[in-house]
């Protein structure tokens, strides 16, 4: 799904949820100003959360690649956080070390 389609779905889902909350709150309390405030809260909180999710999910995964290389010594790859590391079509005379830290502690 494209980023713009994901954001459109998030906006539509937020609008429908806010409308449902407004109707249910209004019917249950018979206080329509409370229903409007509840709908506004859903629009701001849920809508903001879904739009943030849609924007952040567009980020590409981090990667490190070594390809088509001849190395006379050793190769070391270190990647902090999630991502993909690969070494392809490469001749390495020494050793190959790949490290991937979770990044949770900042190391």
pLDDT in tens, 60-69: 677 888 888 8
* Reported confidence tier of residue 95, pLDDT bands at 50, 70, 90: confident
Q: Give the C-alpha separation, 21 to 96, whole Å.
A: 57
Q: Give the C-alpha separation, 1 to 57, whole Å.
A: 11
Place of tokens 């229903």: 35
Q: Where are the beta strands (DSSP E) in the chain?
A: 63-67, 70-71, 75-80, 84-88, 91-92, 96-101
pTM reported for the whole predicted model: 0.51
């Amino acid at each position: 799904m494209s980023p713009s389609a994901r954001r459109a779905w998030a906006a539509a889902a937020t609008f429908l949820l806010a409308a449902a909350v407004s109707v249910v709150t209004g019917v249950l309390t018979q206080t329509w100003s409370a229903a409007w405030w509840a709908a506004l809260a859903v629009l701001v909180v849920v809508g903001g959360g879904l739009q943030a999710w849609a924007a952040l999910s567009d980020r590409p995964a981090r990667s490190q690649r070594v390809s088509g290389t001849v190395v006379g010594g050793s190769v070391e790859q270190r990647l902090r956080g999630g991502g993909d590391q690969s070494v392809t079509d490469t001749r390495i005379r020494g050793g190959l070390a790949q490290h991937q830290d979770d990044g949770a502690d900042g190391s």
